Amino acid sequence: MDAFLHQLLAGLASGGIYASVALALVMIYQATHHINFAQGEMAMFSTFIAWSLIQAGLPYWAAFFATVVLSFVLAAVVEFTVIRPMHDKPALSVVVVFIGLLVIFHSLAGWLFGYTIKQFPSPFPQDAWYGSSMMSAHEVGAIFVTLLVVAALFSFFRFTPLGLAMRAAAQNAASSRLVGINVGRMLMLGWGLAGAIGAVAGMMVAPVVFLDPHMMTGVLLYAFAGALIGGIDSPLGAVLGGFLVGVLENLIGTYVVGTELKLSVALVLIVGVLIVRPAGLLGRTVVTRV
């Protein structure tokens, strides 16, 4: 029973990471109807930026916040320069551009920072009071940070005028312009936020799986699965889906198929959801009109 609980809690901890990345994916999807295939690599790149800042002597939290800001800016710039010009091109072209970004970020990271596996510090000391045999201090901290980020984001969207404007721009660009909203700027902001969230996710996962350019590919897959299970147009669904996938991944990996096939579990989950209920748990089924 203890072991099971431990796996469950570990699943929640990784689930938190997947939930954040899933949230970033859903934000971009809601606003643009595009899936950001490069989300994982961008997050990994951000984590490397944090690593270099820490190597250069910056204290952890300073590096953390600097990275979050830099990632925000970087993502916004990407949206403006690369994604926006493609907004009316066919789906395949857009997917290719996203793949191009994936490849560029991956390769740049390898080039600038090397492919050797690196250690990334955790801000939560191993012997902290909130750690236990059930859940390490880092796992507790990571869940806490994730929930904080998610709560902050939800509040932003719900209670601030800018958040409202962003939701509006995502739902109905034409009407948004009519009320004076600069839709392009909202898109940039949305991307910036997604980039920032990705950075946080990367910095939370790196202490556990160690930092290298391949760090986020698996995470991205799980985040996709989470976003789909929750409903690709539902932010709340994405978060719930992420946690669910984290738990499922861990339990199925430990008790059913063995840890080496965990990615295949994600694959099966993704295909399964898409077949059985593409709208996910909380999403809206879209009726295609002729």
The residue from 58, 70, 86, 208 that contacts another protein (CB under 8 A) is 86
Spell out, one character per residue from 158 to 177, where the chain touches another protein: x when CB under 8 A holds, - when not.
---x--xx-xx--xx-xxxx
> Measured from the CB of residue 129, what is the shortest distance to another protein in angstroms?
38
DSSP letter string, 127-190: T-TT--SSS-HHHHHHHHHHHHHHHHHHHHHHHSHHHHHHHHHHH-HHHHHHTT--HHHHHHHH
Stretch that binds another protein, among 56-64, 86-94, 137-145, 247-255 (CB under 8 A): 86-94
Spatial contact of 205 and 89, defined as CB atoms under 8 Å apart: no
CA proximity to 76, closest of 132, 145, 5, 27: 27
> Measured from the CB of residue 126, what is the shortest distance to another protein in angstroms?
30
CA proximity to 65, closest of 145, 154, 131, 160: 145
Instruction: Please state, in angstroms and rounded to a whole number, the distance separating the CA atoms of residues 284 and 120.
Output: 39
Helix (H, G, I), strand (E, B) or coil at 123: coil
Bridge partner list, 211: 118
Q: Is residue 55 a contact residue for another protein (CB under 8 A)?
A: no
The count of chain residues that interact with another protein, using the rule CB under 8 A, is 64
> Measured from the CB of residue 132, what is the shortest distance to another protein in angstroms?
32
Angle at 248 between CA 245 and CA 250, to 5 degrees: 105
DSSP letter string, 25-90: HHHHHHHHS---TTHHHHHHHHHHHHHHHHHTT--HHHHHHHHHHHHHHHHHHHIIIIIGGGTTS-
Q: Which of residues 265-284 bind another protein (CB under 8 A)?
A: 266-267, 270-271, 274-275, 278
Smaller CB distance to another protein: residue 183 or 238?
183
Q: What is the separation, in whole angstroms, between the first and last Cα of the chain? A: 54
Smaller CB distance to another protein: residue 6 or 185?
185
Both tokens of 270, joined, read 């993704």
Spell out, one character per residue from 171 to 210, where the chain touches another protein: x when CB under 8 A holds, - when not.
xx-xxxxxxxxxx---------------------------
Q: Which of residues 92-121 bind another protein (CB under 8 A)?
A: 92-93, 95-97, 99-104, 106-108, 110-111
Smaller CB distance to another protein: residue 108 or 147?
108
The residue from 7, 8, 34, 251 that contacts another protein (CB under 8 A) is 34
Residues forming contacts to another protein in the complex (CB under 8 A) are: 33-35, 37, 82, 85-86, 89-93, 95-97, 99-104, 106-108, 110-111, 161, 164-165, 167-168, 171-172, 174-183, 217-218, 221, 224-225, 228, 258, 260-264, 266-267, 270-271, 274-275, 278, 288, 290
